[in-house]
Amino acid sequence: MALITFSGYPCSGKSQRAAELQKFLSSKLQDPTIESPFCSVEVISDDTLGLQRSVYDESRSEKPARGALFTAVQRALALDKIVILDSLNYIKGFRYQLYCAARESKCRVCTVYVVAKPDLCREWNDNRQDGPKYTPETLENLFMRYEEPSSMVRWDAPLFTVLWTDEGLQNDSIWEAITKGNIKPPNSGTLNVAKAPSDALQALEQTTTAMVSAIMAERTAGQSMGGPVSLTLNGELQVTVALPERHVTLSELQRMKRQFVTIHRKAITLGTTEKGTVDWEERSIADKFARYLEENVRQ
């Protein structure tokens, strides 16, 4: 899985370079002597999505156009596919958004920066015969707003720059980047948050309350004032908690219970990104509360 993002001035030759790269990559995939995890190459562009050049005339039409490009990329990302995004991609925030989507899909990324002088872009736009043109006002506006890619930022790296005078792309280097480059783990901010079951708050309250009552009952009936106390909850659940060698009052246990419930309520209501499986079963809550009491009840 790989995402190759093209960026450059309007009418700078991005589509021509993207077609060259698609042809090179397709030939690589068809070569029986080359082992590759990919099966296909897909190009996503304004033209493939039916986006007119006029969408860039105003921000209110450009924003949904970028949304359509982003959605198309998300849908296209697959384990056995190389996705080439052939569009302006002139906003670094949008390139970062694409980078995060690629990380979430665990695919390799690279950026191809197609460079051409503004005068050349104006000339090529005026002489364009293969599709719609940009209006002169939109063209100048896009020149002014363009945010150049940088190899120093992670969402543009690795960055391959191709000038209008270059005969071809750095095809071999791009191939190596998308087949051997590092696959970065998803950003924690993009991970799906594990949610607790709907009855988790009720289970938390009931289990901790039952433990406080069981501790007081055992301490009242027992001969020892401290040490490990074996508790039986709901007639079958066995929990052991080690308490200090002194009389622990009901008010003290209730205070510990309130603190424990408050700490864990946020994790239940908002979710948690802790490693491992989030377990809000009675056994897990009881064990956690027992450890909490052992660590926080004064000796």
Tell whether the model's pLDDT for residue 276 goes beyond 70: no
In whole angstroms, give the CA distance from residue 11 to residue 7.
Answer: 11
3 state DSSP class of 272:
strand
Name which of 81, 69, 6, 73 is nearest 41 in CA terms.
81
Mean pLDDT score across all residues of the chain: 86
Tell whether the model's pLDDT for residue 16 goes beyond 60: yes
Length of the chain: 299
Could you report the per-residue pLDDT of 233-262, keeping only the tens digit for each?
877 788 888 878 777 888 888 998 998 888
Could you report the per-residue pLDDT of 47-83, keeping only the tens digit for each?
999 999 999 999 999 999 999 999 999 999 877 899 9
Where is average pLDDT lowest: 183-187, 220-224, 259-263?
220-224
Tell whether the model's pLDDT for residue 188 goes beyond 60: no
Q: Is 191 left (phi over 0), alpha (psi -120 to 50) or beta?
A: beta
Q: Which long-range CB contacts under 8 A does 48-51 form with residues at least 24 apart?
A: 48/72
Task: Report the percent of the chain where pLDDT is more than 90.
Answer: 52
Residue 171: per-residue pLDDT: 95
Beta-carbon contacts of residue 286 (< 8 Å; ≥ 6 apart): 207, 211, 233, 237, 239
Q: Which two tokens stand for residue 101?
A: 């989507």
Could you report the per-residue pLDDT of 129-173, keeping only the tens digit for each?
766 899 999 999 999 999 999 999 999 999 999 999 999 999 999
pTM: 0.65
How confident is residue 273, by pLDDT bands cut at 50, 70 and 90?
Answer: very low
How confident is residue 274, by pLDDT bands cut at 50, 70 and 90?
Answer: very low
Q: Which residue has the tokens 């690589």?
A: 28
How confident is residue 280, by pLDDT bands cut at 50, 70 and 90?
Answer: confident
Query: Which residue did the predictor score with more confidence, 151 or 1?
Result: 151
Task: Report the percent of the chain where pLDDT is more than 70.
Answer: 88
What letter does residue 149 receive in the DSSP assignment?
-
Query: Which residue did the predictor score with more confidence, 101 or 196?
Result: 101
Tell whether the model's pLDDT for residue 277 goes beyond 80: no
Continuous segment of H or E residues that includes residue 95 = helix 92-104
The mean pLDDT value for 172-190 works out to 80
Tell whether the model's pLDDT for residue 41 goes beyond 80: yes
Q: Is the dihedral of CA 36, 37, 39, 40 positive or negative?
A: negative
Could you report the per-residue pLDDT of 103-139, keeping only the tens digit for each?
888 899 999 999 999 999 999 999 987 668 999 999 9
Q: Is the dihedral of CA 90, 48, 133, 54 positive or negative?
A: negative
Residue 249: per-residue pLDDT: 84
The mean pLDDT value for 203-220 works out to 85
Where is average pLDDT lowest: 14-18, 71-75, 237-241, 265-269?
265-269
